[in-house]
Structure 1
Amino acid sequence: MTDAPATRLVERSRQAARAEVARTGVALFLTRGFDATTMDDVAAAAGVSRRTLFRYFGSKEEVALGHLGGLGDELAAAVRAQPADVDVWVALVTAFEQTLPGALATDDGAARALAQLVETTASLRAAHAEKHRRWTDALTPAVAERLGDAPDAELAARAVVGTVLACLEAATHAWLCTDDDRDVHALALAALAAVRSTV
């Protein structure tokens, strides 16, 4: 019989080690450049073997963006946790408000540097787009459930999820490319409110 507490402890230790390797890798990417940094460089800096590194991450893109990997399922769970009488849009926005801050860098400078790296690196942009596709696939059924028997519930759910993700992209662009002094979370909420007020 499996010792559940021991198993959970091992998993938490693994997750902590994975997060530490990722932080080391991101620091290297920001210092040396993404393309100039190899997986061997990351392994050496993190003090782990190449084999161990590849057990944690399959690519450099995963090192940089792995913290976003499980967010789709977390967001879907947060949507499902909202009371049944909560509007679909509000439930979805609330899920993002509850989930995203804990997944992103708490240091605004580090978060901005990583976002800028993604914006300027083609392979990271592609990997980030793939993360968003996975979020959409995870979130669409959760949103569709709230629409019940409404016509085209699946289509409407995917459209709403896509709109929210587009608002996040718009907020990130404004954060990186304009003189607006609001943080990315405030900009995201402003974008979401602006879209909601027009529909």
Structure 2
Amino acid sequence: MRSPRPYSPQAGPGAQSLTERRKAATQLDIARAACELFAAHGPDGTTAEDIAHRAGVALRTFYRYFRNKQEAVAPLLAGGGDEWRALLAEEHPGTPLSEALERAVTRSLTGPVAVAEGLEWTRGLLRASVDDPALRAVWYRVNQDSEEDLAPILTRLAGPTADPLRIRLLAAAATDAIRVSLEVWSTTDAPASGPGSPAELAVRSLRELTRGMSILSGS
């Protein structure tokens, strides 16, 4: 799921510059404001001006980062996907892919930030998207971006001889497992953890969608 993300930027050689961190922080402030207003008034009852005012930025700043009000929530929607791919990237090459995927998915969907903030915001946005095609389009684009970013990580874990087609299929299956689980969970009042939670649904979906994939066993 690439929606700025509600997680801390990574340290190390690939860490963001101060300017990039400030930009990401501003985007996230705008995204949170948009989410709060969508929850209170719906997308139709919210304007870009409303979001900019709630976020404490000028309208021109809003449009510097986002084309429209629906696009403003992309950083929140993408945050979970960023997190789970980062966790998957920590796995060692040669680790059975089924284990690595389930571990990363579970960790990302049960982390304190995800449970306290990210998942409930995602549920609200997915509910709002039912009657808003533009908001649904943002959700689908975020998932497509996440799938494309996932493939190189899977390739590294599977090894250089892995079949590119199987890698792409696994990336699609893993991304859809999380996407569908969040969509189903958003239609319920199930908690963010425990039975019926996104983590439980995602692992179930991942097993269903990847059952029989030879790449998971290394063959």
Structure 1 portions without partners, runs of 5+: 1-6
The share of aligned pairs that are identical, in percent, is: 26
Aligned residue identity for 2:91: Q
TM-score (norm 2): 0.71
Equivalent pairs, count: 192
Q: In the alignment, which of 19, 25, 30 is matched to residue 21 of structure 1?
A: 30
Larger Rg: 1
Distance 1:62 1:132, change over 3 A: same
Decide which moves more: 29-38 or 11-20. 11-20
Q: Does structure 2 retain, via aligned residues, the 8 Å contact 1:61–1:123? A: yes
Distance 1:118 1:51, change over 3 A: same
Question: Which fold has the larger relative contact order, with Cα–Cα distance below 8 Å and residues 6 or more apart in sequence?
Answer: 2
Report the equivalent of 1:39.
48
Q: In the alignment, which of 92, 95, 100 is matched to residue 104 of structure 2?
A: 95
Aligned residue identity for 1:141: P
User: How far, CA to CA, are the matches of 1:188 and 1:77 in structure 2?
Assistant: 17
As a proportion of its length, which structure holds more helix? 1
Aligned residue identity for 1:188: A
Does residue 162 (structure 1) correspond to residue 172 (structure 2)? The answer is yes
User: How far, CA to CA, are the matches of 1:129 and 1:67 in structure 2?
Assistant: 13
- Encode CA deviations 1:153-180: one digit per residue, 9 max, x unaligned: 2111110111112212331233134686
Distance 1:155 1:71, change over 3 A: farther
Structure 2 portions without partners, runs of 5+: 1-15, 214-219
Q: Does structure 1 retain, via aligned residues, the 8 Å contact 2:143–2:175? A: yes
The equivalences for 1:96-135 within 5 A come to: 96-100=105-109, 101=111, 104=114, 106-107=116-117, 109-135=120-146
Distance 1:123 1:172, change over 3 A: same
1:15: how far off?
Answer: 3.5
Report the equivalent of 2:147.
136
